[in-house]
Structures are given as C-alpha cells and as structure tokens.
Amino acid sequence: MKKPAPSEHDPYFKQYIDLVEGEDLLGRLESVHEETRSLLSSLSEDRAGHRYAEGKWSIKEVIGHLIDCERILTMRSLVIARGDRTELPGFDQDLYVRTSGADRRRLVDLAEEHDAVRKATVTLFRSFDDAMLVKQGIANESIISVRALGFVVAGHEVHHTNVIRDRYLPT
C-alpha cells in the first residue's frame, strides 16, 4: 500500500505520515504497536503517572489519547470506506484527555485496551480493498482518504512514543 499523496490529506497530517517507514501499513501498525507495548511494559505505575512539565499530560494520559484518537480515526475510515458522504466533525483532544480518567487507571489496563483497539484497527484495514483505501471524505473540514487515515494512526503513535522517550524518560 503506497503512502497517500499530499492531495489525500490536510498538510497538518504530513508530520505523522512521514514518520511511517515504508509502505506496508498493516506491518507498520503491528510493529509500531509492539514497540509501544515494549515501552509501556518497561514502566512502573508511578512512572506512568509522570508529567515532564506543569500542565503536560501524564504518560497514562498520552496512552489514553492514542486510544481515543485511534478510535476516532478508524471510525472516520469506516465511514469514508463505506461511501457515507457525511462530513465528520473534529474533536477537542484536550477535553478528551481531561475527561478520560486515564490517570486513575492502571497502566496495564490502558495497555490492554490499546492492544484491543490496535487489533480492531488492523482487522478493519485488512478488510479494505484498494478502491476503499483511496476513497476520500471530509473530516474536520478537510479532505482525507481512508489510506491517509491509516498512515496517520501509525505515525501519530510514533510521534507520541518519541515524545515519551525524549521528554518523559530522559537518560
């Protein structure tokens, strides 16, 4: 599966799509997830509650954010792939994090939910044929293709795990 062309997504998403190595989206969704799973398994419960600065999300909240975003992006993928022309709304990521309760949850439970969501994402994208992958719709007032949404899911996770390594877990 080739990476999406710039005409298939808002320029904002280029930062995430560029973080996905190669063109094997399903393989990258799985390998990126394994890297995240390994990172999470190395963290203590206390460490997962860490914020690198005042007003920043905790690691648990970052994982909750990844889960929420993946659900939203895959829902958009399904709607567009099925030919539904409904314009899909944006969402306030800070509101979602603030109201998620991620900090009150155990890291192992967040990791388990993340596993379930990723399994569903891979299964969904495996079901899309070539014609579905290139379908485009409107989400958050911008054109986006099903294929672009899949690459955004993978790249968004890479972005946030890089942030965790660089800002939350300095050596």
Cα 150 from Cα 121, distance rounded (Å): 9
Considering the entire predicted model, what is its pTM? 0.96
What number of other Cβ atoms are within 10 A of residue 126's Cβ?
A: 10
pLDDT in tens, 52-78: 999 999 999 999 999 999 999 999 999
pLDDT in tens, 92-143: 999 999 999 999 999 999 999 999 999 999 999 999 999 999 999 999 999 9
Cα 148 from Cα 116, distance rounded (Å): 22
Q: Regarding the domain delimited by 27-80+89-128+150-168, which CATH topology (the fold level of the hierarchy) does it fall under?
A: Four Helix Bundle (Hemerythrin (Met), subunit A) (1.20.120)
DSSP symbols for 103-165:
GGS-HHHHHHHHHHHHHHHHHHHHH--HHHHT-EEEETTEEEEHHHHHHHHHHHHHHHHHHII
| Extents of the domains making up the chain | 27-80+89-128+150-168
Enter the tokens of residue 19: 């973080």
Band of pLDDT at residue 171, cut at 50, 70 and 90: low
Tell me the average pLDDT of the chain. 97
Nearest to 150 by CA among 80, 60, 86: 80
Cα 122 from Cα 143, distance rounded (Å): 23
